[in-house]
Amino acid sequence: MLTKDDTIAAIATPHGVGGIGIVRVSGPDAEKICQTLFRPTANTGPLRNHYLYHGDIISPETGDMIDEVLLTLMRAPHSYTGEDTLEINCHGGHLILQAVLNETIKVGARPAEPGEFTRRAYLNNRLDLSQAEAVADLITAKTDRSRALALSSLKGKLSEKLQSIRSSLIEILTSLESSIDFTEEDISTGPHSNLSRDVEDVIIRINGILSTYKEGKLFRDGLNVVITGKPNVGKSSLLNRLLGERRAIVTSIPGTTRDFIEETINIRGIPVKLTDTAGIRKSAEAIEKEGIKFVWEKVLAADMVVILIDGNAPLTDEDIEVINRNREKRMVLTINKSDLPRKITDTELSDIIPGVEPLWISAKYGGGISELKEKIWSLASDGGEYMESDIVLTNLRHKISLEKTVESLVAARENISRESSPELAAFDLRDALDHLGDIAGETTTEDVLSGIFSNFCVGK
């Protein structure tokens, strides 16, 4: 188990060369480390809280200057971690950053574990657990919508909603326990129907939050879409058109694409990972056979497939095989080369796969591309329009905890309605409060905490 009684340090910016890189130090010895390593340009006396100072980092062992820096000391509790925190803004070369980090370790810090700064913020009650998880979501957000949802959770919108629900449950439990305390005196605290209705109201509120999970998961995790079809139908051209840049090689030679090309685009706030795949055909070449085998594996794992067919050529057995092997998946049947004479009819296609409306496009000139994006959106959202709400459930752990909360509340409601012993309903309500508290980290085990923060980057 990690301790928060020592001082940790890490490089807080990504690896590579940049204008600025930051070394972050947090813990009881942060100010001492600052005094040992930092020489301000101006002799201003003791460093003030939350001020930016110019100066040099000096090696105490050799007296050599390591780097010219800008430095901020943030004293507890007014820092990200709630501890004394030092942020050293260095020049952005990895060698410089590593040298400054090494000096902090020599004079008393230790290397931070992944996510340890955020974990300390949680342990010091600067963030609850759902807010801490939102930090990771914010960093990895791929679209403005996913960024906005993560920021909303970080700012405590979901926590406030859950705290309101928690307060309602505590009121219900208090009323129920009063009836237990005064049973012998035969003092009534109100009809059972009132408590049953109150529990039902809480269930409705939680189910309202749970109903947003599909939307939240889509915006957080995105959609995995595979473009597939026989060779030379324009899959790479379509990928390039959707990306708005030349990413895949386009030639008239069948089998040009041997490996996968994956890129992400934004469709109405959904991060959509597009995968261009090798053309499906019967081939005697070992390398191409292996590539086609991988195509089917990719298609199997996809959330959606875009099946591309050449509309300027008759349907082939290869086209039909691709359609047949994807009948059970969410599919966009897309007919390319709408700018050329059509040699396939919609009727012919509907006979092969009834109920799926083909979409005609021109990957070369851009015709139908907007409609294709809308079709992907419509299938992903089951034809619905998502609400622009700040409170959207994005985390599977939260969803499971809320579902367990509802299960306990349903049991409590049934016990109250049957006028069973109030102790039974009280037990169910306490169970519900425990599950609800698990989201904020009030009842979360050490193993779960370790698993959550191990997925963070070092330095955050």
Which segment of 183-192, 233-242, 387-396 scores lowest on mean pLDDT? 183-192
Three-class secondary structure of residue 357 per DSSP: coil
At residue 376, what is the residue type? I
pLDDT at 448: 81
Residue 17 β-bridge partners: none
| pLDDT band of 182, cuts 50, 70, 90 | low
The model's confidence at residue 94, banded by pLDDT at 50, 70 and 90, is: very high
Higher pLDDT pick, 387 / 308:
308
Domain 134-212+392-441 CATH assignment equals 3.20.20.70: no
Taking the domains of the chain in order of start, what are their residue ranges? 8-127, 134-212+392-441, 221-380
Mean pLDDT value across residues 165-185: 80
Residue with tokens 């519900």: 432
Answer yes or no: is pLDDT of 257 > 60: no
**Nearest-angstrom CA–CA distance, 326 and 305:** 8
What's the pLDDT score for residue 189? 45
Instruction: Please give the Cα distance from 218 to 270 (Å, whole number).
Output: 7
- The per-residue pLDDT for 278 is 74
pTM to 2 decimals?
0.81
pLDDT of residue 66: 96
Where are the extended beta strands (E) located within 149-251?
223-228
Helix or strand (DSSP H, E) at 366: none
Q: Please tell me which residue, 390 or 146, carries the higher pLDDT value.
A: 146
Q: Spelled out in words, what is the top-level CATH class assigned to the domain 221-380? A: alpha beta
How many CB atoms within 10 Å of residue 186? 6
What pLDDT score was predicted for residue 390? 73
**How far apart, in Å, are the Cα atoms of 69 and each of 9, 38, 49?**
16, 9, 17
Q: What is the pLDDT of residues 312-324, one digit of tens each?
A: 999 998 899 889 8
Average pLDDT along the chain: 87
User: What is the band of 456 on the pLDDT scale with cuts at 50, 70, 90?
Assistant: confident
Q: How far apart are CA 166 and CA 160, in angstroms?
A: 10
pLDDT at 447: 84
- Domain covering 8-127, topology: Gyrase A; domain 2 (3.30.1360)
Range name among 92-96, 358-362, 383-387, 453-457 with the lowest pLDDT average:
383-387
Is residue 255 over pLDDT 60? no
Contact yes or no for 403/150 (Cβ under 8 A) = no
Contact 107, 60 (CB under 8 A): yes
**What does the angle CA 107 – CA 101 – CA 110 come to, to the nearest 5 degrees?**
55
* DSSP collapsed to 3 states, 212-237: CHHHHHHHHHCEEEEEECCCCCCHHH
253 pLDDT tier (thresholds 50, 70, 90) = very low
- CA-to-CA distance for 74 and 84, rounded, in angstroms? 6
Q: What's the Cα-to-Cα distance from 210 to each of 70, 142, 162, 260, 309, rounded to whole Å?
A: 46, 23, 12, 36, 39
- The answer to whether residue 248 scores a pLDDT higher than 70 is no
| Per-residue pLDDT, 451 | 86
